[in-house]
Chain A
Amino acid sequence: MDSLTVPGNLDSLQAIRDFVLAAAAEAGIDERSAYKLSMAVDEIATNIITYGYGGSATPGDVVIQAGTENGRLQVVLEDTSPPFDPFSRDEPSGLDAPLEERAIGGLGVFLAKRSVDEFRYEYVDGRNRNIFVVNRTTT
């Protein structure tokens, strides 16, 4: 299983996406699914960095791992910020509402959930674990 450890700041997002895209290419994931996976991981990593580590001057790390099993690519994001379950938040409402009337927030988790085949969260040994799974498509 490949892994990458980066400091929990927004400058790390590029490296996180590059890691995900490389893992997806290696796993034979199609371009569209790879993009969506990279977006899902980016959104959750953004939340970890922005809210979990809260812009601390000395944030903890974000660890990202990728591996394939039975034709599925699994990506795991781990961090040591306070427990945060992305499923504990309500889905954003009013996706049809004009932008002028929109509340800003919740879109990242919404996009993450819809951009992969499976999205799970667990808190284990003092670490948040966000798990993303994409099935390899045969085209």
Chain B
Amino acid sequence: MAFDVSTEQAGDIAVITLSGELDANAAGSFRSAVEEAAAAGPKRVVLIMDKLQFMASAGLRVLVFAKQKMGTGVDLFVVGARDAVLETIEMTGFHHSVIMMDEFDASEIENY
């Protein structure tokens, strides 16, 4: 399924919603979405992944890029990642650096 990404800004939270298959071919548009979100200087970045069916290491590299682009003070939340995607995130140790959540909870993210 084709990759799709959309970005919205809610106060100082940037919400990036991913769907479909995130491979090396699609990573560029994810990276652009991160750059777009970073431009607004958010305090928190939330990646909604419940409709993401596939993620290759190219997607992980964009997570690294996001973390480096936003700066250490900005927390990265990964919400609703499916088991297969979650397993990749854990296998590569990325779960130590992002905050994993099952469901989007605005107040929990706000107060984190």
Contact = CB atoms under 8 A, between A and B. Distances in A.
Interface of A: 10-11, 13-14, 17, 32, 35-36, 38-39, 42-43, 46, 49-50, 95-100, 102, 104, 107-108, 110-111, 114
Q: How large is the interface on B (under 10, 10 to 19, 20 to 34, 35 or more residues)?
A: 20 to 34
A108 B84 contact: no
A102 to B, nearest CB: 5
Contacts of A35: 54, 84
B23 interface: yes
**A interface secondary structure, majority:** helix
Contacts of A38: 54
A42 B25 CA distance: 11
Given A17-B21, A46-B24, A108 B56 contact: yes
A110 B54 CA distance: 17
B32 to A, nearest CB: 16
